[in-house]
Structure 1
Amino acid sequence: MTKESVPIWEKAALTLEEAAAYTSIGINKLRELTNNPRCEFVIYVGRKRLIKRKNLEKYLSENIEL
């Protein structure tokens, strides 16, 4: 059985590395943004930090600077 990969633009949640590649925003900047307790596009699975792709896209479309 082979494992098929899902394209980044179809995933509901992205790792920091995937989100950085998808948005061209650095991992450190994404980490800084997601450290905010009011961040609406981060979810934690145990200690793993994931980015909700659609919420991140919405955040980026509504803000002109980070």
Structure 2
Amino acid sequence: MINEIPIWEKELLTVTEASQLFNIGQNRLRLLASEDQGDLVLRVGVKILFKRDRLKEYLTTEYSI
């Protein structure tokens, strides 16, 4: 059995994981990723990975997204 790291302990989150953790729709997260200048997202090929701590900081400072 593979030991998976809990979502809240991961440093990088997929769109699906970020959606589950922060209760934000996947389409909205993809839109944020497309507008990002490298602060929130790490791209590995076509895969989008959100930097958990920076995304959390961003969400706490924004009024609406």
TM-score (norm 1): 0.91
Does the Cα contact within 8 Å between 1:14 and 1:52 map onto a contact in 2? yes
Counterpart position of 1:65: 64
Counterpart position of 1:17: 16
Aligned residue identity for 1:12: E
2:39 is the counterpart of 1:40:
yes
Aligned residue identity for 1:33: L
- Measured on the aligned residues, the alpha-carbon RMSD in Å equals 1.1
Unaligned runs of 5+ in 1: none
Aligned residue identity for 2:23: S
For residues 8 and 41 of structure 2, what CA distance do their matches in structure 1 show? Answer: 17
TM-score (norm 2): 0.92
